[in-house]
């Protein structure tokens, strides 16, 4: 039986002259290589923690290397026992998740079956996607409207966007009026048959979040995502009492117990786990069971790279309460598109890959071409912002200056 011989984290990044928005500028890939020379692929999130996550992979690797491949779940449980801060460490959980995904990819390839079969079998062969990332360089309402119409013309029937520009913690009357104008423009442009999903990015104090929610209820969004600062999550109960639109969240929750707690306390309507930081497929099965027990819709968070998308589609296929799937693909830069072959989003839907493992082929020459040691760029907008929505960017301006390179 093959053994896990090596676990490696690989950072890839946009070319220096690419001008990628910070949310699309780096990707952390993870490979697990067996004694037979087979390679499985995983991915970990970035968002201003590219290097800490990459370094955490080396810690996780110590529990996996030398084990039989089919014993990879034992390595995960051993890491649980040793990793004292795991339940509160995004870095540890992201590294663990990426390795778990890569191990499942390997097992599926060895057995000749997609990961969805390992998870119990697909319930669907296609999933509906919602577009994100489409509104870069949009500030004025008419800019949001024009870009939204283009996305709908491309087949998407659900659009997520952040209308709040640079408002943070508090929300001025002018800031709220501007947000309302943007959402109104998008609703008028796409009509009533397209779902609008409002992204708050976990940015507001409770009073501001409720004020925004009550104002935007009028446009009948399908959900509002992370309306309050995550450290003030108990205030979500107040938000749900005062705002009609359902609450979605989950990208910052790390364990199945976190999801159970939020559902049990009535703090969330729609779950948005991120497969790359909530324990990969191993914890993903548990989270799916919790969601099913509560009847909670699941819309996986998926904001990073193509290996993450491929992995997420495999778990989408088996979710009893699948709702929607996030997609940035239509707004990706070319360098990121080149990394993987094997899935597409067309007409606002993904077809679930059916080839073994994750169902994809990674272009290793592209991975080598874009291999990097950089730190994600900073300023003038935070890395979680869609570029050009806080500060107007000139089309002739140089891309954001990268931070200094760190060595490991």
Question: Which candidate in 72, 104, 201, 294 is catalytic?
Answer: 201
Q: Is 184 a catalytic residue?
A: no
Question: Which candidate in 51, 72, 104, 301 is catalytic?
Answer: 301
Q: Is 301 a catalytic residue?
A: yes
Report the alpha-carbon distance of residue 128 to residue 126 in Å, rounded.
7
Report the alpha-carbon distance of residue 378 to residue 257 in Å, rounded.
33
- CB neighbours of residue 401 within 10 Å: 9
SS3 264: helix
CA Rg value for the chain = 20
Q: Which helix (H) or strand (E) holds 286?
A: helix 280-294
Across 365-385, b (16+ Cβ under 10 Å) vs e yields ebbeebebebbbbeeebbbeb
Report the alpha-carbon distance of residue 285 to residue 287 in Å, rounded.
6
Report the alpha-carbon distance of residue 204 to residue 211 in Å, rounded.
10
Question: Tokens 């080396």, residue?
Answer: 58
Q: Could you give the residue numbers annotated as active site?
A: 201, 301
């Amino acid at each position: 039986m093959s053994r896990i011989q090596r676990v490696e984290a690989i950072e890839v990044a946009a070319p220096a002259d690419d001008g990628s928005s910070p949310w699309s500028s780096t990707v952390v890939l993870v490979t697990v290589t067996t004694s037979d020379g087979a390679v499985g692929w995983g991915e970990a999130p970035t968002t201003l923690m590219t290097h800490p996550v990459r370094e955490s992979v080396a810690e996780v690797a110590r529990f996996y290397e030398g084990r039989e491949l089919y014993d990879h779940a034992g390595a995960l449980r051993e890491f649980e026992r040793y990793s004292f801060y795991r339940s509160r460490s995004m870095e540890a959980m992201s590294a663990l998740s990426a390795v778990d995904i890569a191990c499942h990819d390997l097992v599926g390839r060895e057995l000749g079956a997609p990961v969805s079969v390992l998870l119990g079998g697909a319930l669907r062969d296609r999933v509906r996607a919602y577009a994100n990332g489409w509104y870069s360089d949009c500030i004025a309402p008419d800019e949001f409207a024009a870009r939204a119409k283009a996305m709908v013309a491309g087949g998407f029937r659900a659009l997520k966007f952040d209308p709040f520009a640079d408002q943070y913690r508090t929300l001025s009357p002018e800031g709220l009026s501007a947000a309302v104008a943007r959402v109104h423009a998008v609703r008028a442009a796409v009509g009533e048959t397209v779902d609008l999903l409002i992204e708050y990015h976990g940015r507001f104090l409770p009073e501001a979040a409720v004020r925004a929610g009550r104002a935007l209820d009028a446009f009948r969004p399908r959900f509002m995502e992370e309306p309050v600062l995550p450290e003030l999550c108990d205030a979500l109960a107040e938000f749900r009492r005062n705002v009609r639109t359902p609450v979605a969240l989950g990208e910052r929750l790390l364990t199945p117990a976190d999801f159970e707690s939020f559902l049990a306390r009535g703090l969330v309507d729609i779950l948005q786990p991120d497969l790359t930081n909530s324990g990969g497929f191993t914890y993903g099965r548990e989270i799916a069971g919790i969601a099913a027990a509560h009847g909670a819709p699941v819309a996986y968070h998926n904001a990073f790279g193509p290996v993450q998308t491929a992995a997420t589609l495999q778990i989408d296929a088996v979710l009893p309460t699948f709702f929607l799937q996030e997609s940035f693909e239509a707004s990706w830069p070319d360098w990121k598109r080149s990394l993987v072959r094997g899935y597409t989003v067309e007409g606002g839907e993904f077809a679930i890959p059916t080839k073994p493992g994750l169902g994809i082929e990674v272009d290793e020459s592209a991975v080598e071409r874009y291999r990097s040691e950089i730190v994600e760029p900073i300023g003038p907008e935070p890395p979680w912002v869609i570029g050009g929505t806080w500060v107007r960017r000139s089309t002739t301006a140089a891309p954001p200056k990268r931070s200094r390179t760190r060595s490991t």
